[in-house]
């Protein structure tokens, strides 16, 4: 039993159709760097919040406590911003792949 023409796999056909659509390749490196930056910002925000908490509880001076509260609020805002950036860029690659697969399946039907 011989095969005259090599059979292309489903993945190869998918790659060929994507190449025909001429979609520019996303910059995955930038997404990865920004996701890591968001994670670092979130972790730094949590650390600032903890430092502000211990700083405010370790003193009786009202002025120092106010400075610690400002530091803790800054830490919370960094944590929220960093979490948002991390979620946006970490999910971007997954959603991009999902959309391309959806388009491919719709074209086959």
Q: Over the stretch 34-62, which tens digit does the pLDDT of each residue have?
A: 999 999 999 999 999 999 999 999 889 99
Look at residue 74 in the predicted model and tell me its pLDDT. 96
**CA–CA separation, 63 vs 35, rounded Å?**
37
Look at residue 108 in the predicted model and tell me its pLDDT. 82
Angle formed at CA 69 by CA 64 and CA 73, multiple of 5 degrees: 150
- Extents of the domains making up the chain: 28-108
Q: Over the stretch 86-101, which tens digit does the pLDDT of each residue have?
A: 999 888 877 888 888 8
Confidence of residue 85 (pLDDT cuts 50, 70, 90): very high
Q: What is the pTM of this model?
A: 0.66
CB burial of residue 72 (10 Å; 0-12, 13-18, 19+): buried
């Amino acid at each position: 039993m011989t095969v005259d023409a090599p059979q292309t796999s489903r993945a190869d056909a998918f790659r060929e159709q994507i190449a025909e659509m001429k979609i520019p390749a996303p910059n995955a490196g930038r997404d990865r760097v920004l996701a890591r930056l968001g994670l670092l910002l979130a972790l730094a925000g949590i650390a600032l919040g903890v430092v502000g908490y211990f700083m405010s509880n370790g003193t009786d001076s009202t002025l120092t406590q106010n400075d610690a509260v400002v530091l803790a609020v800054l830490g919370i805002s960094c944590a929220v911003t960093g979490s948002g950036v991390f979620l946006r860029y970490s999910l971007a690659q997954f959603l991009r792949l999902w959309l391309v697969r959806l388009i491919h399946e719709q074209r086959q039907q």
